[in-house]
């Protein structure tokens, strides 16, 4: 086996593996961005639902907002809503 054949036998699979890893990283970054966009859309829709509920049922909307906000645990201070 000549040196050129050895380089091809070892080098081509290594190049193929590195290329596939780079492509996988690029695809995962794209998927992560899509998930972020979907989360933003869901938050927007949730806000619209709260707004509509507040117009039709003011008391129920306050309950839904309270249920959606995260609880305040002892190690953390709860900030007032005005901040």
Predicted confidence (pLDDT) per residue in 29-67, tens digit: 888 888 888 888 888 888 888 777 777 766 666 666 666
| CB-count burial class (<10 Å; 0-12, 13-18, 19+) for 50 | middle
pLDDT at position 83 over 50: no
pLDDT at position 73 over 70: no
The pTM of the full predicted model, rounded to 2 decimals, is 0.44
Cα 38 to Cα 19, 32, 34, 45, 51, distances in angstroms: 29, 10, 6, 10, 20
């Amino acid at each position: 086996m000549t040196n050129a054949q050895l380089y091809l036998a070892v080098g081509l699979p290594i190049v193929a593996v590195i290329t596939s890893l780079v492509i996988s990283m690029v695809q995962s970054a794209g998927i992560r961005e899509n998930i972020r966009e979907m989360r933003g859309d869901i938050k927007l829709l949730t806000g619209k639902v709260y707004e509509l509920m507040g117009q039709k049922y003011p008391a129920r909307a306050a309950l839904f907002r309270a249920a959606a906000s995260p609880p305040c645990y002892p190690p953390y201070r709860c900030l007032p809503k005005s901040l």
